[in-house]
Amino acid sequence: MNFLLIQWPFLGMMVLTFVVWVTLYRRRIAFMKAEQIHPQKVPTPDKIAEFIPPEVNNPANNYNHLFELPVLFYALVLFLIATNMDDHIDAALAWGFFLGRCAHSFEQCTSNVVMRRFTLFMISSLFVWVMLFRTLVRLHL
């Protein structure tokens, strides 16, 4: 299959990770400068949570989340491309995952309503699980 269909959400996840990384440091550095918090006061996540409020630190939590389930997504997409098994359904599922993760990241970095964020996480996760099970079926496992 033409991997161009599935490469865009794959690369989009990388761009999303970069955007969250920029957001994380812009917020954190601005807050620390405004509050005159020396970096040595916050050397660990526990200390960061003690000095930096959630609305400033939420992008950091989201950034960490982008290295959890998305790792499976990256591996699965690379496997599908390497084995030439990717098809239009996989591409649609990859787009669903990517768009769901964008919505999840936006939610966590802004209003951070937990149940809404959880719902977005669950929906986006389903796209990856369907991709995985479709792949296993096609491999006759």
The domain spans of the chain are: 4-138
pTM, full prediction: 0.93
Is the pLDDT reported for residue 71 higher than 60?
A: yes
Region 33-49: mean pLDDT is 94
Greatest extent of the chain over all pairs of C-alpha atoms, in Å: 59
Summary mean pLDDT of the chain: 95
For 11, residues 6+ apart whose C-beta sits below 8 A from its C-beta are none
Question: Is there a contact between 103 and 15 (Cβ–Cβ < 8 Å)?
Answer: no
Judge whether residue 57 has pLDDT over 70: yes
Q: Which two tokens stand for residue 79?
A: 């496997």
45-72: average pLDDT? 95
Q: What CATH topology corresponds to 4-138? A: Four Helix Bundle (Hemerythrin (Met), subunit A) (1.20.120)
Assigned token pair, 23: 């957001």
Length of the chain: 141
Q: Give the residue ranges of DSSP H helices in 1-141.
A: 4-34, 45-51, 54-65, 69-82, 88-109, 114-138
pLDDT band, very low/low/confident/very high, at 141 (cuts 50, 70, 90)? confident
Mean pLDDT, residues 86-111 = 97
Compute the distance between CA of residue 38 and CA of residue 12 in angstroms, rounded to an integer: 34
